């Protein structure tokens, strides 16, 4: 696997016209955030050696290079999920390649179901911590030599980044929540009982991504910021049926606010 990582990184390095230090992962329904980036290059996942290919609606499947808030950035327009049939090594392969290309900061976004009664649909939740409920760990197996065998996760989400985003949100009168994100395998949305159980565990939002990517990023010494768009609610009151189309619509509606926060964070890093 490490040989493939180096091979893919070299393929991109020879073609990249910039050397970004910040990468963004655009989750479900959030691919349009790429429109905020002044694109200089883009690579289809299908054309990148060893790269998986995104199969989910709303995930375009492009690696984008360009400028956002005056800084060079890399962006994944579409991510990979365990439920698509990929192993955790494949799901987190892009983050391994990013490290080899000199990425130091990783900004992750996702659409998530809210379990905190104080949340509303369309809220932005700054991720302060996470719970890993995936059946396979992304660091299982031989240790990749870019990090320790037993990495600490005591501060997976950078406190300085969180502080900056909260300051920006306050300055622009943008409502933000804070909470714990729980990652599970999917692809089913949660039952009412699962929502209640996850909330009892200490989670405020639940989704099908992000946690593996963050674990690998932290393993490599990257600084991480994460934000969830609350696209549906569960675990309290009457159970509501959730569809992918509704999740995508709610995520799209919240994109302008998230674009502003991400842009200001990048500008201040």
Q: What is the pLDDT of residues 174-189, one digit of tens each?
A: 999 999 999 999 999 8
At residue 58, the pLDDT reads 47
The CA distance from 187 to 200, in Å, is 22
pLDDT in tens, 74-127: 999 888 999 999 999 999 999 999 999 999 999 999 989 999 999 988 899 999
pLDDT recorded at residue 2 = 85
Burial class (CB in 10 A: 0-12, 13-18, 19+), 4: middle
Of the listed ranges 81-90, 149-158, 239-248, the one predicted with least confidence: 239-248
Could you tell me the two tokens for 268?
């201040």
pLDDT band of residue 132 (cuts 50, 70, 90) is very high
Given a cut of 80, is residue 248 above it in pLDDT? no
Cα first-last separation, the chain: 31
Q: How far apart are CA 199 and CA 197, in angstroms?
A: 5
User: Is the pLDDT at 3 greater than 50, yes or no?
Assistant: yes
Query: Could you tell me the two tokens for 64?
Result: 């984008």
Report, in angstroms and rounded to the nearest whole number, the Rg of the chain calculated over CA atoms.
Answer: 17
Above 60 in pLDDT, residue 173? yes
Query: Which one, of 54, 53, 75, 73, lies nearest residue 63 by Cα?
Result: 75
What is the residue-wise DSSP string for the chain?
-HHHHHHHHHHHHTT-S---SEEEEE-TT-GGGGGGSEEEEEEEGGGSTT-----STT---EEEEEEETTEEEEEEES---GGGT--HHHHTHHHHHHHHTT--EEEEEEEEEE--TT--TT-EEEEEEEEE--SS-TT-SSPPTTS-SS---TT-S-HHHHHHHHHHHHHTT--EEEEEEEE---SSPPPHHHHHHHHHHT-SEEESSSHHHHHHHHHTT-EEEEEEEEEEE-SSSS-----HHHHHHHHHHHHHHHHHHHHHHHHH-
Sign for the pseudo-dihedral over CA of 68, 13, 138, 245: positive
Whole-prediction pTM value? Answer: 0.92
CB of 125 within 8 A of CB of 246?
A: no
pLDDT of the residue at 98: 97
What does pLDDT average to over the chain?
90
> pLDDT tens, 5-27?
999 999 999 999 999 999 999 87
Domain map (residue ranges) of the chain: 2-268
**CATH code matching the domain that covers 2-268, chosen among 3.40.50.2300, 3.40.980.10, 3.40.50.1580, 3.30.70.20:** 3.40.50.1580
Query: How much of the chain, in percent, has pLDDT values that exceed 90?
Result: 70
Tell me the average pLDDT across 159-171: 97
Q: What percent of the chain has pLDDT over 70?
A: 91
Segment 28-63, tens digit of pLDDT = 656 667 788 899 999 999 999 999 876 655 446 899
d(CA 114, CA 68): 29
Q: What's the confidence (pLDDT) of residue 267?
A: 92
């Amino acid at each position: 696997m490490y040989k493939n990582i180096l091979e893919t990184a070299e393929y991109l390095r020879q073609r990249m016209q910039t050397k970004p230090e910040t990468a963004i992962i655009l989750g479900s329904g959030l691919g349009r955030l790429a429109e905020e980036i002044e694109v200089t290059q883009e690579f289809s996942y299908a054309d990148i050696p060893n790269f998986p290919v995104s199969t989910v609606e709303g995930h375009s499947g492009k690696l984008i290079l360009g400028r956002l808030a005056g800084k060079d950035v890399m962006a994944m327009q579409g991510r990979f999920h365990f439920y698509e049939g990929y192993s955790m090594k494949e799901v987190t392969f892009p983050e391994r390649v990013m490290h080899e290309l000199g990425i130091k900061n990783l900004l992750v976004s996702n659409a998530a179901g809210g379990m905190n009664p104080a949340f509303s649909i369309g809220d932005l939740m700054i991720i302060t911590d996470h719970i890993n409920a995936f059946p396979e760990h992304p660091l299982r197996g031989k240790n990749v030599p870019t990090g320790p065998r037993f990495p600490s996760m005591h501060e997976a989400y950078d406190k300085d980044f969180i502080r900056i985003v909260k300051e920006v949100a306050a300055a622009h009168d943008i409502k933000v929540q804070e909470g714990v994100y729980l990652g599970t395998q999917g692809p089913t949305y949660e039952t009412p009982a699962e929502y209640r159980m996850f909330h009892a565990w200490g989670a405020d939002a639940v989704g099908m991504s992000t946690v593996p990517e963050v674990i690998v990023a932290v393993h490599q010494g990257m600084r991480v910021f994460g934000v969830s768009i609350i696209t549906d609610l569960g675990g309290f009151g009457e159970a509501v049926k959730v569809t992918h189309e509704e999740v995508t619509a709610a995520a799209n509606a919240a994109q302008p606010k998230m674009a502003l926060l991400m842009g200001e964070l990048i500008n201040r890093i």
